[in-house]
């Protein structure tokens, strides 16, 4: 068993009750084991972060920026090993794993740049409406933060949280997913290599017990969680107990709207990317295709062909377009939805099958003319299952897109850019792409409306999530 938990600058063996088995999903076989952190070890991690906070918050912003650039450099230096681990533990094709590493590097470099600007932003004078007073603002770190990250984009989602938290002057307790617990250990290794002060970054792995111990801990000043709505609700209840801030990035059931003036072949490329990237295991997957009725038949035939020609397989042994689902539990869940589709008599144009040979594979799946009452239309599945529905008018398309309890992202495909921008303005989501695949840039915001969560990550908004605004007002008399 490896010493998998990084607490107060030291690696520790787990003392929890759970044994975590790490799998290669393309083979359905384990390749590592570790023992979860115990609640007592979570206590140690929070205490270490609390002890390190006063000194870290007073480290110059320039020095914090230097540490962040160090994280970016070390991730880049470990690129090949990290790509291989993403492929082995997540089942990501090589080209997707490369994007993940580039994303993490860019995130740390970006927040290093924002950290370098913090000194200039401190003490800005606030114009007042009455004479005789002066006021200025400070941007203080919110304190000790608990970060709980998912399995579908490990290293990336943690970078989105860790980099701005450290830039702001917060100290951190990070809990990776028990499905992909290994790659986040890289951050502890880099902290050692950089000489990051002990306690600034702590990593405790485990299952639900470890996550509950962290989210319920009275020593945490803020929680940031990415994952399912069910667990997000529990995290929000924990935050409410202590009246502390929380950022939640939750589920999605996003729409991609395709109008009849589009280039059909280009539209197919964007549609496939929106549902098959990471085998559809994305909160942002555009799993509801809304297509204008005059081009629906032609587009669906092209999609059928595209789905059937996607190369699905083990990314470690072949060049593939899509790998396996990351866990057996997710594979079983998708299989359950295939059964629901059969029970609902949905029209399956491509796919609709799970494959166990030997790993956790599913076929890219296309359902045509799905009723709005179908469970597959309304529920987040987290797999490469695309449901389609036709519309006749722009108003109809927008109404269908917004008819969801989620509101994370959407994509609009149209040659009429004026119309596309108009539609983007009416969609109840946090991010809209126009005539594009899901390109996510660290400079833009990430987060949603309705059931997709609370708050924003990335961009300056991601940094602000870890800052507390303080005003200092002084009488001049």
pLDDT higher than threshold 80 for residue 203: yes
Catalytic residue check, 387: no
Q: What distance lies between CA 132 and its chain's CA centroid?
A: 48
pLDDT band at 120 (very low <50, low <70, confident <90, very high): confident
pLDDT tens digit sequence for 58-102: 999 999 999 999 999 999 999 999 999 999 999 999 999 999 999
pLDDT value of position 123: 82
For range 121-128, the mean pLDDT? 88
pLDDT higher than threshold 80 for residue 393: yes
Q: Between the CA of residue 332 and those of 31, 187, 228, 327, 383, what are the distances in Å?
A: 21, 32, 17, 9, 11
pLDDT tens digit sequence for 352-375: 999 887 999 999 999 999 999 999
Mean of all residue pLDDT scores within the chain: 97
pLDDT value of position 268: 98
Contact 15, 41 (CB under 8 A): yes
pLDDT tens digit sequence for 26-53: 999 999 999 999 999 999 999 999 999 9
Would you call 157 helix, strand, or coil by DSSP? Answer: helix
For range 106-126, the mean pLDDT? 93
pLDDT value of position 357: 77
Segment (H or E) for 407 = strand 406-407
pLDDT value of position 14: 96
Contact 363, 352 (CB under 8 A): yes
| d(C-alpha 54, C-alpha 57), whole Å | 6
pLDDT higher than threshold 70 for residue 440: yes
What letter does residue 90 receive in the DSSP assignment? I
Segment (H or E) for 236 = helix 229-242
Nearest to 261 by CA among 394, 386, 388, 387: 394
pLDDT value of position 142: 98
Please state the domain extents for the chain. Answer: 5-250+452-475, 255-441
Residue in 96, 116, 178, 249 annotated catalytic:
249
Which one of 3.30.70.1150, 3.40.605.10, 3.40.50.1820, 3.30.70.380 gives the CATH number of domain 5-250+452-475?
A: 3.40.605.10
255-441, CATH topology level: Aldehyde Dehydrogenase; Chain A, domain 2 (3.40.309)
For range 121-135, the mean pLDDT? 90
Residue in 116, 283, 380, 457 annotated catalytic:
283
The residues with which 411 forms a beta bridge, in sequence order, are 256, 433
Q: Look at the block and give the residue holding tokens 């597959």.
A: 376
pLDDT higher than threshold 70 for residue 124: yes
Catalytic residue check, 283: yes
Q: CA torsion angle for 74, 76, 79, 82 (degrees, to 10)?
A: 50
pLDDT value of position 368: 98
pLDDT higher than threshold 90 for residue 186: yes
pLDDT value of position 1: 61
The overall longest dimension of the chain from CA atoms, in Å, is 80
Nearest to 224 by CA among 282, 152, 173, 284: 173
pLDDT value of position 298: 98
Q: What distance lies between CA 442 and its chain's CA centroid?
A: 12
| d(C-alpha 254, C-alpha 275), whole Å | 10
Q: Between the CA of residue 157 and those of 144, 172, 227, 240, 477, what are the distances in Å?
A: 18, 14, 10, 24, 50
Q: In the chain, what percentage of residues exceed pLDDT 70?
A: 100
């Amino acid at each position: 068993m490896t010493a998998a938990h990084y607490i107060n600058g030291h690696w520790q063996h787990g003392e929890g009750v759970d044994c975590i088995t790490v799998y290669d999903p393309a083979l359905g076989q384990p390749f590592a084991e570790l023992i979860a952190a115990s609640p007592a070890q979570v206590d140690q991690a929070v205490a270490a972060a609390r002890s390190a906070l006063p000194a870290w918050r007073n480290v110059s912003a320039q020095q914090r920026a230097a540490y962040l650039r160090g994280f970016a450099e070390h991730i880049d230096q470990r690129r090949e090993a990290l790509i291989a681990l993403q492929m082995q533990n997540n089942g990501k094709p090589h080209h997707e794993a490369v994007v993940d590493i580039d994303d993490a590097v860019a995130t740390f470099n970006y927040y290093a740049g924002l950290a370098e600007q913090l000194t200039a932003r401190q003490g800005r004078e606030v114009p007042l409406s009455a004479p005789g007073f002066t006021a200025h603002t400070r941007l203080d770190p919110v304190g000790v933060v608990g970060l709980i990250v998912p399995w579908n984009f490990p290293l990336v989602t943690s970078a989105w949280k860790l980099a701005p938290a450290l830039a702001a002057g917060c100290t951190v307790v990070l809990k990776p997913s028990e499905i992909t617990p290994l790659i986040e250990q890289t951050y502890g290794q880099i902290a050692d290599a950089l000489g990051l002060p002990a306690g600034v970054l702590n990593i405790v792995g485990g299952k639900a017990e470890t996550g509950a111990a962290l989210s319920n801990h009275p020593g945490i000043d803020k929680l940031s969680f990415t994952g399912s709505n069910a667990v997000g609700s529990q995290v929000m209840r924990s935050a409410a107990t202590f009246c502390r801030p929380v950022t939640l990035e939750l589920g999605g059931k996003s729409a991609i709207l395709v109008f009849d003036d589009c280039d059909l072949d280009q539209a197919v490329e964007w549609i496939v990317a929106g549902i098959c990237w990471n085998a559809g295991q994305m909160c942002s997957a555009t799993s509801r295709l809304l297509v204008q009725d005059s081009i629906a038949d032609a587009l669906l035939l092209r999609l059928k062909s595209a789905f059937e020609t996607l190369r699905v397989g083990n990314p470690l042994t072949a060049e593939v377009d899509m790998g396996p689902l990351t866990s057996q539990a997710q594979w079983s869940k998708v299989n359950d939805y295939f059964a629901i589709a059969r029970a609902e008599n949905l029209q399956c144009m491509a796919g609709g099958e799970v494959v166990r040979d030997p790993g956790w594979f599913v076929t890219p799946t296309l359902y045509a003319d799905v009723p709005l009452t179908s469970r597959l239309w309304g529920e987040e599945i987290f797999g490469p299952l695309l449901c389609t529905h036709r519309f006749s008018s722009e108003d109809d398309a927008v109404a269908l897109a917004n008819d969801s309890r989620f509101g994370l992202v959407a994509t609009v495909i149209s040659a009429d850019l004026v119309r596309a921008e108009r539609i983007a303005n009416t969609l109840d989501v946090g991010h809209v792409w126009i005539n594009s695949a899901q390109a996510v840039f660290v400079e833009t915001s990430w987060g949603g409306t309705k059931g997709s969560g609370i708050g924003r990550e990335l961009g300056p908004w991601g940094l602000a999530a870890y800052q507390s605004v303080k005003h200092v007002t002084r009488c001049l008399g």
